[in-house]
Chain A
Amino acid sequence: MIPITLTVNGRRVEATVEPRTHLADFLREQQRLTGTHLGCEQGVCGACTILLDGVPARACLAFAVACDGAEIRTVEGFDGDPLMARLREAFSAEHALQCGFCTPGMLISAYDLIRRLPEADEARIRRELSGNLCRCTGYVGIVAAVQRVLAEVPKAATAPSPAAEASPSARADTPLWGKIKTALGAKPKA
Chain B
Amino acid sequence: MKAAAFDYVAPQTVAAALDALDAEGEARILAGGQSLAPLLNLRLATPKRLVDIGRIAALRRIEDRGDHHRIGAMVTHAAIEDGGMALADHGMLAHVAAGIAYRAVRNRGTIGGSLAHADPSGDWPSALMALDARAVAAGRAGEREIAIRDFLRGAFATALEPGEMLTAILLPKLSAAARWGYYKIVRKAGEFPEAIGAALFDSERRRARIVIGALGSAPLPLDNLAARAAEKGIEAVALDAVEAALREAAPDLDRIALRHHAVAARRAILEALAP
A→B interface (CB under 8 Å):
2, 18-20, 22, 25, 41-43, 46, 49, 52, 55-58, 60-63, 65-66, 68, 109, 112-113, 116, 126-128, 130-132
Within 8 A of A (CB), among B186-200: 188-190
Partner of B108, one of A57, A113, A116: A57
Q: Which residues of B contact A132 (CB under 8 A)?
A: 102
A20 to B104 Cα, complex, angstroms: 21
Contact B38 A22 (CB under 8 A): no
> Smallest CB-CB separation from B104: which chain A residue?
A56
> Smallest CB-CB separation from A105: which chain B residue?
B104
B→A interface (CB under 8 Å):
1-8, 10, 30, 33-34, 37-38, 40-42, 50, 52, 54, 78, 101-105, 107-108, 188-190
- Tell me whether A22 and B34 are in contact in the complex, defined as CB-CB below 8 angstroms, given that A63-B8, A112-B103, A130-B102 are known contacts: no
CB distance from A66 to the nearest CB of B (A): 5
Contact A66 B52 (CB under 8 A): yes
A130 to B105 Cα, complex, angstroms: 12
- Tell me whether A22 and B3 are in contact in the complex, defined as CB-CB below 8 angstroms, given that A46-B104, A62-B33, A130-B188 are known contacts: yes
Contact A60 B41 (CB under 8 A): yes
Max chain A C-beta neighbours (<10 A), residue from B2, B4, B34, B37? B37
A127 to B101 Cα, complex, angstroms: 10
Contact A43 B38 (CB under 8 A): yes
A132 to B108 Cα, complex, angstroms: 16
Contact B42 A25 (CB under 8 A): no
CB distance from B270 to the nearest CB of A (A): 22
- Tell me whether A19 and B6 are in contact in the complex, defined as CB-CB below 8 angstroms, given that A55-B78, A131-B103 are known contacts: yes
Contact A20 B5 (CB under 8 A): yes
Contact B37 A56 (CB under 8 A): no
Contact A42 B54 (CB under 8 A): no
Q: A63-B30, A131-B103, A132-B102 are in contact. List 6 more A-B contacts (CB 8 A).
A: A20-B3, A20-B40, A46-B104, A57-B107, A127-B190, A130-B189
A2 to B9 Cα, complex, angstroms: 10
Contact A128 B103 (CB under 8 A): yes
Max chain B C-beta neighbours (<10 A), residue from A20, A52, A113, A132? A20
A126 to B4 Cα, complex, angstroms: 36
A62 to B78 Cα, complex, angstroms: 16
Q: What are the 5 closest A-B residue pairs judged by CB atoms, nearest first?
A: A131-B102, A19-B8, A42-B38, A130-B189, A61-B37
A43 to B34 Cα, complex, angstroms: 7
Contact B107 A56 (CB under 8 A): yes
